[in-house]
Amino acid sequence: MEMAQYDDRIVIIEDTLELQCAAKDYVSLRTSEQVTMNQLLKATMRLRPDRIIVGEVRGGEALTLLKAWNTGHPGGVATVHANNAVQGLTRIEQLIQEVIIGIPRQLIADAIHLVIFIQRNGIQRKIKELIQVDGYDQNYRVKNLIYSS
């Protein structure tokens, strides 16, 4: 994980340990049958992270993660499965709807600034799309930074 400054305090949360981090100050947390991703995200706030990284978001913990990113912990990273970059935002909406009725699109737009869509072709992975999220006004304001067909 080379996105952060080496003196940033980084918290990595995963259900399967896969991510490696070269930072000096990082904590790696793993879910278990007794401890959920959402519980770890809430506990992370007490660890004073500069950056919060989640291996894969699969449920309602997406809401907790976005709230954490919007409370002074910018520059985090998470993965979701989607068919393209814009649908990555839609997938976040769907995950949030597992825990609340309304969709906090402004929160999503405030917390997520870049969406990278990586496509797998056989054993290779390739960046196919990179969009910048510039806010929300009836729709997400996005700018395509990279698009390859």
As assigned by CATH, the class of the 9-79 domain is: alpha beta
What pLDDT was estimated at residue 147?
75
The model's pTM: 0.90
- Tell me the per-residue pLDDT of 27-54, one tens digit each, with 9 for 90 and over: 999 999 999 999 999 999 999 999 999 9
Quote the Cα angle for 41-44-47, to 5°. Answer: 175
Per-residue pLDDT tens over the stretch 58-103 = 999 999 999 999 998 877 999 999 999 999 999 999 999 999 999 9
Domain residue spans of the chain: 9-79
The type of residue at 90 is: T
Q: What is the pLDDT of residue 1?
A: 41
Q: What is the DSSP track for 2-35?
A: -SS-TTSEEEEEESS-------SEEEEEE--SSS
Q: Which residues contact 141 (CB under 8 A, 6 or more apart)?
A: 109, 133, 134, 135
Would you state the pLDDT for residue 5? 56
